[in-house]
Amino acid sequence: MSASVLFDQPGPRARRNQLIAGIIGSLVILAILGYLVYRMYETKQFTARKWSIFTDPTALNSLANALINTLIAAILAIILSLIFGAVFGAMRVSHNAILRTISTVVVEFFRAVPLVLLILFVFLGFADTLQSISNNLGITTVMDNAGLGKGQGALASLVIGLTLYNGSVLAEIFRAGVQSVPRGQREAAYSIGLTRSQTLRKILAPQAIRTMLPAIISQSVVALKDTSLGLIVGYGELVRQGQLIATGYDNFIPVTIVLACVYIAINYSLSRLAGYLSKRQARTKRLAPVKADPLLPPDTMIEIETERQLKD
Partner 1 sequence: MTTTLLSDAGFSVFAQSGLTVLTSNIDKLLEGFGKTLALSALAGIIALVVGTILAAFRVSPVPALRAVGTAYITIFRNTPLVLLFVVFTYGLPGLLGIKGDHTFGFAVGALATYTSAFVCEAVRSGINSVNPGQAEAARSIGLTFNQNLKLVILPQAMRAVIPPLTSVLIALVKNSAVAEAFLIAEASFVMKGLIRDEPQALYWVFFGTALGYIIIVFAISGISRVFERKLEVAR
- Name the residues that contact partner 1, by CB under 8 A: 1, 4-8, 10, 14, 18, 21-23, 25-26, 29, 36, 39-40, 42-43, 45, 109, 112-117, 120-121, 124-125, 221, 225-226, 228-229, 231-232, 239, 242-243, 246-247, 252-253, 256, 259-260, 263-264, 267-268, 271, 292-299, 301-302, 305-306, 309
Choose among 69, 78, 72: nearest CA to 221. 78
- The least CB distance from residue 135 to partner 1, in Å, is 21
- The least CB distance from residue 45 to partner 1, in Å, is 7
Q: Cα(210)–Cα(223) distance, rounded to whole angstroms?
A: 20
Q: Cα(151)–Cα(165) distance, rounded to whole angstroms?
A: 21
CB closer to partner 1 out of 140 and 220: 220
Q: Cα(104)–Cα(166) distance, rounded to whole angstroms?
A: 15
- The least CB distance from residue 286 to partner 1, in Å, is 18
Q: Are 240 and 73 in contact (CB under 8 A)?
A: no
Instruction: Write the CA distances from 13 to 5, 9, 19, integer angstroms.
Output: 19, 11, 10
- The least CB distance from residue 80 to partner 1, in Å, is 20
- The least CB distance from residue 200 to partner 1, in Å, is 28
Q: Which letter, b or e, does each residue of 148-181 get, where b requires 16 or more Cβ atoms within 10 Å of its Cβ?
A: bbebbbbbbbbbbbbbbbbbbbbbbbbbbbbebb
Name the DSSP class of 233: G
CB closer to partner 1 out of 109 and 197: 109
CB closer to partner 1 out of 34 and 114: 114
CB closer to partner 1 out of 90 and 223: 223
Q: Cα(223)–Cα(66) distance, rounded to whole angstroms?
A: 16
CB closer to partner 1 out of 167 and 242: 242
- The least CB distance from residue 213 to partner 1, in Å, is 19
Q: Please count the CA atoms within 13 angstroms of the CA of 167 that sit on its side-chain side.
A: 26
CB closer to partner 1 out of 57 and 298: 298
Instruction: Write the CA distances from 6 to 17, 44, 104, 267, integer angstroms.
Output: 16, 45, 42, 31
